[in-house]
Amino acid sequence: MSHSNIKKSNGQFGGSGVAIAGLVTGYVGVVLLISAMLIMAVMMLPALYDVSKDKRQNAILSNELQYTAAQFQHLGEYMQRKFAGHSVLLIASPKIAGANEYADDRLDTIRDSLKDAFDGRLSIVRTVHLEAPEMENGMPPMYETMFTAEAFDEIVADNPEVDLILSLVGLPMNWKEMEFWQISDEKRSKLVMTNGQVFELYDPIIEGYVNAVVHYNPASQYNFQDDVPSDSTEAFEKRYLLIDADNIAKIASENKGMFASPAEE
């Protein structure tokens, strides 16, 4: 404003140099302010990204817990129909120091969903966690060293009062060596499993050694951003298959390669 008034005064007012210096200083200040704001914004981007990343991860984990609840609600209802009156032993992953809270939340979700579905007709008497060997050279132990045929048989021997085993960790890699299969039908506990390989289990399922398996549906298309169906059965069927002796032939015919052919076993 001063510079404009000086120009209009036809030489009556002086101080043009000072006015121009003020203009230059103001423009420079604006440029520096904008630059500082841009620098601050760039510096804040990693923090904003981390917040956004955490929100995405939390949303994914929340969805996975909802699918877990649906999985074990559906399985629990099946077990209630098939095995009412049985006492249930859960075999779970090792408790590892420093593990994140999600593992504990998932196990709590599993137990709560099962108890709700059992409706008092079955009872969970115990949860046995696999023992994890000590880490070697800072590396986590291999799965096959944590869950062996011997470890499974020890769990069975230590829990003779249990008449139904629900393995949340599938079967050992050397499952064919388990003495469990040699127990007579009258004394051998029922066996239900999740999160395990089924490729070689066609005959054990047909013959009743493995009574039921929950397996990921090969036809499922995973999109972690999709909402989880509110109906537990719909959520289950969107992701899983429940396989037993009654439906295994149909499932095998619809999913080529899921089970070994006789020549491959």
Which comes out higher in pLDDT, residue 138 or 92? Answer: 92
Find out whether 70 and 228 touch, Cβ atoms under 8 Å. Answer: yes
Residue 231 is given by DSSP the state S
Mean pLDDT of 13-21: 58
State how far the Cα of 195 lies from the Cα of 214, in Å rounded to an integer: 7
- Decide the pairing of beta strands 212-216 and 240-243: antiparallel
pLDDT tens digit sequence for 183-194:
999 999 999 999
Domains and CATH numbers, the chain: 61-254 (3.40.50.2300)
Per-residue pLDDT tens digits for 130-182: 987 666 666 655 655 678 999 999 999 999 999 999 999 999 999 999 999 99
2: pLDDT confidence band, cut at 50, 70 and 90? low
Tell me what pLDDT residue 60 has: 87
Mean pLDDT confidence for 77-95: 95
3-state helix, strand, coil in the chain (%, to 5): 50, 10, 35
Q: Categorize the per-residue pLDDT at 121 as very low, low, confident or very high, splitting at 50, 70 and 90.
A: very high
pLDDT of 263 reads: 46
Closest CA to 146 of 164, 162, 158, 134: 134
Lowest-confidence segment of 43-47, 99-103, 165-169, 239-243 by average pLDDT: 43-47
Q: CA-CA distance, 251 to 214, in Å (whole number)? A: 12
Greater confidence, 37 or 202? 202
Q: How far is CA 135 from CA 125, 160, 247, 252, in A?
A: 31, 31, 41, 39
Q: If you count DSSP H runs as helices and E runs as strands, how many of each does the chain have, helices first? A: 8, 6
Q: Which two tokens stand for residue 103?
A: 């593992």
Q: Is the pLDDT of residue 5 over 50?
A: yes
Give me the mean pLDDT over the 41-61 stretch. 69
Mean pLDDT over each residue of the chain, to the nearest integer:
83
How far apart CA 119 and CA 134 sit, in angstroms, is: 39
Q: What Rg, from alpha-carbon coordinates, does the chain have?
A: 32
Burial of residue 105 (CB within 10 Å: 0-12, 13-18, 19+) is middle
Does the structure show a pLDDT above 90 at 42? no
Q: What is the average per-residue pLDDT within 53-82?
A: 91
Contact criterion met (CB below 8 Å) for 34 and 43: no
Q: Which tokens sit at 261?
A: 């052919």
